[in-house]
Amino acid sequence: MRSIHSLVKFVAIFSSAFLLSCAEMRGVQVGGYDLTPLADAGDKLAKGTAETPVQEEEAIGRHMAGTLLGASKLSTVQQQQRYVNRVGRLLTLSTPRPQLDWHFGVLADDDVNAFAAPGGYVFVTSGLLNMLDNEAQLAGVLSHEIAHVTHKDYINAMRSNNLLGAALDVGAFVGGAATNGQTSAQQREFAQSVVNASREVYARGLDKSDEYAADKAALETMTKAGYDPYAYVVVMQKLEARAAKDSAMALLLQTHPSPTDRLEAMGASLDTMNIPGNLLTLDKRFAQSAR
């Protein structure tokens, strides 16, 4: 059986050369490999219908999460970490992708921000956490980031901006090699490509339409989970009040629509929702667990 190293090497060389069109690849054998599956994948990419396998998505997410943790360490307050994970995992049960291997964390960073990475990684900074008053507000923040994962916004941003190039196409092969305990230059190249791409996408931010869609999904998710969605409106009002004078919000404001515009869009979303009574904010539990 040919080694995975040989297969990855072949795919990487082929991907960079683009010697044949997709139609010409069908039925062609090169070195014993059938190019038809690559032709099918190429057609999907051209039509914008390609799906990133979960294994590859998780591999990309691990490297992106590592980039975030290289810039800001996790908070050492274990009670805080456990609490945010409990709230986050509860929320994922009300999403289309509860089966992902979700991980939540608090970054020891005074800046006001939150981040997500593909495959189920969500982080909130201690600066943002300390600004909140109750669990429902935390649920809104986490639900927004969860939506970026479930919508595959970062994967789509990397694909549409070609930030990973051929690495996105060979990532599944690289991930397979990694699970078998093998190492290769292609794996290292894949990892570095993801690190470089993640730095760029975090600095650039997602499309405004992705942020508005994540806000809408956050309101729906937290409501379904039993939290008062108007608590997320309060978070946005807090951001709006601090926006003009707070340097700790610089990156968030650079990469997101203005809080004022987001509040307007959230109001429109709330007008269309059927919001039940007796939804929770859980102020006391938040005060006991998040500090």
Do both 89 and 20 map to the same domain? no
> What is the rounded average pLDDT for all residues in the chain?
83
What phi, psi does 285 have (nearest 5°)?
A: -65, -40
Same domain? For 38 and 75 the reply is no
Please tell me whether residues 21 and 129 are part of one structural domain.
no
Residue 123 has pLDDT above 60, yes or no: yes
Mean pLDDT of 148-170: 84
Of 18, 33, 50, which one is at a domain's C-terminal end?
50
Q: Is the pLDDT of residue 103 over 70?
A: yes
Q: How confident is the model at residue 279 (pLDDT cuts 50, 70, 90)?
A: very high
Q: Are residue 38 and residue 63 in the same domain, yes or no?
A: no
Asked if residue 172 belongs to a domain, the reply is no
Give a yes or no: residue 166 inside a domain. Answer: no
In a domain, 216, yes or no: yes
pLDDT at 126 over 90: yes
Residue 180 inside a domain? The answer is no
Question: 3-state SS of the chain?
Answer: CCCHHHHHHHHHHHHHHCCCCHHHHCCCEECCEECHHHHHHHHHHHHCCCCCCHHHHHHHHHHHHHHHHHHCCECCCHHHHHHHHHHHHHHHCCCCCCCCCCEEEEECCCCCCEEEECCCEEEEEHHHHCCCCCHHHHHHHHHHHHHHHHCCHHHHHHHHCCCCCCHHHHHHHHHHHHHCCCCCHHHHHHHHHHHHHHHHHHHHCCCHHHHHHHHHHHHHHHHHCCECCHHHHHHHHHHHHHHCCCHHHHHHHHHCCCHHHHHHHHHHHHHHCCCCCCCECCHHHHHHHCC
- Find the radius of gyration of the CA atoms of the chain: 21
Domain count, the chain: 2
Q: Are residues 97 and 210 in the same domain?
A: yes
Instruction: Tell whether 35 and 122 lie within a shared domain.
Output: no
One domain, residues 79 and 119: yes
pLDDT value at position 191?
83
Is the residue at 161 inside a domain? no
What is the reported pLDDT for 6? Answer: 35
Residue that wins the pLDDT comparison between 83 and 182? 83
pLDDT for the residue 14: 36
**pLDDT score of 162:** 81
pLDDT digits (tens, 9 = 90+) for 218-233: 999 999 999 999 999 9
pLDDT in tens, 162-214: 887 766 665 555 555 555 555 567 777 888 888 889 999 999 999 999 999 99
Residue 242 and residue 125 share a domain: yes
One domain for residues 30 and 118: no
Say yes or no to pLDDT of 46 above 90.
Answer: no
Based on the fold, state whether residues 31 and 126 are members of the same structural domain.
no
Report pLDDT for 115: 96
Residues 263 and 252: their CA atoms lie apart, in Å, by 15
Do 31 and 77 fall within a single domain?
A: no
Residues 17 and 67 in one domain: no
**Inside any domain, residue 197:** no
- Higher-pLDDT residue of 29 and 215 is 215
In 3D space, the residue among 226, 232, 235 whose CA is nearest the CA of residue 270 turns out to be: 232
pLDDT over threshold 70, residue 282: yes
In a domain, 162, yes or no: no
Per the domain annotation, does 195 fall within a domain? no
For residue 34, what are the domain limits?
A: 1-50
For residue 286, pLDDT over 60 is answered with: yes
* pTM summary value: 0.79
pLDDT at residue 20, as a whole number: 43
